[in-house]
Amino acid sequence: MGCLRRCHGVARRGALARDGPRCRNRADRHGHAPGRGATQDPRCGVTLSIVDLDKRLGGRLVLDAAGLSAARGEVVAIFGDNGAGKSTLLRILAGVLDADRGHATLDGASILGPRAAARARVGYVPEAADAPAHLSPRELSALVAALKRVPPPDEALLDRLGLRAYWDRPFGGLSLGQRRRSCLCAAILGDVRLLLLDEPTNGLDAAGVRELAGLVTERRAAGTTVLVATHDPGFAEAIGATRVRLSAGKLET
């Protein structure tokens, strides 16, 4: 039930453009702020700040003081081996998992914890892109819109994502690519400032990947910060992403 639980960022708990300015006040890889002598760029501000996140799963330390900062409108592609913790990191930021330690803020407001109001500005599409089998994409988007108190998707978005052919079919009968498009539709409803995409090209054909890249580029231009867990360097290049690698529990530039 991943899409229903968190692709909209609120269900349970109610790189800049390629040719744009680069932030010089970016925090280090642990999410720590730059020193007093660091040069500040007034055009840039840290929208997402992740500081010293720890997470242990099954006795293994998956995230070890992981840290990252990203500016408004920056797209960050997170690479790493299978099992490195990419999905775990996104699930923590989306609220599916609790961190053992650390902080994460969006525009200065926490997105961790049961009363994190900023969570309504987080959209999440999990790798499985799943939802209750009986729900249709229309019903999923309607539920998310109601939870966020925003309008349902408009006709242009349905056409853009190619949802009309299966808009009223239950999730249980949809392909992975169709489920992914449906969850993406729900995830971007409302004033989303942080979009989390876990292996978003899985299940999409070449045309779908191009359409997704275009949509991410538009969100970036509108000021949405996007974190993408991926194994696809071509997609990262297409969306103008800053690349980081998750290894031994730490994010490295």
Residue 57 and residue 50: Cα distance in Å, rounded? 19
Domain spans in the chain, listed from the N-terminal domain onward? 2-16+72-99+114-252
pLDDT in single tens digits along all 253 residues of the chain = 567 655 444 443 333 333 333 443 344 444 443 332 233 333 356 799 999 999 999 999 999 999 999 999 999 999 999 999 999 999 999 999 999 999 999 999 999 976 677 888 999 999 999 999 999 999 999 999 998 889 999 999 999 999 999 999 999 999 999 999 999 999 999 999 999 999 999 989 999 999 999 999 999 999 999 999 999 999 999 999 999 999 999 999 8
Residue 118 and residue 86: Cα distance in Å, rounded? 22
| b (16+ CB within 10 A) / e for 82-96 | eebbbbbbbbbbbbb
The CATH class of the 2-16+72-99+114-252 domain is alpha beta
pLDDT value of residue 253 = 83
Place of tokens 């760029």: 41
pLDDT value of residue 17 = 34
Query: Global pTM?
Result: 0.83
Q: What is the DSSP letter of 28?
A: -
In what helix (H) or strand (E) does residue 49 lie, and over which residues does it extend? Answer: strand 46-57
pLDDT value of residue 178 = 94
pLDDT value of residue 35 = 34
Provide Rg for the chain, Cα atoms: 17
Residue 57 and residue 97: Cα distance in Å, rounded? 11
Amino acid at 110: S
Dihedral of CA atoms 152, 153, 155, 161 in degrees, nearest 10, equals -150
pLDDT value of residue 249 = 95
Strand ranges of the sheet holding 122-125, from the earlier edge strand across to the other edge: 122-125, 194-198, 225-229, 75-79, 242-247, 250-252
Residue 227 and residue 59: Cα distance in Å, rounded? 27
Q: How many C-beta atoms surround the C-beta of residue 159 within 10 A?
A: 10
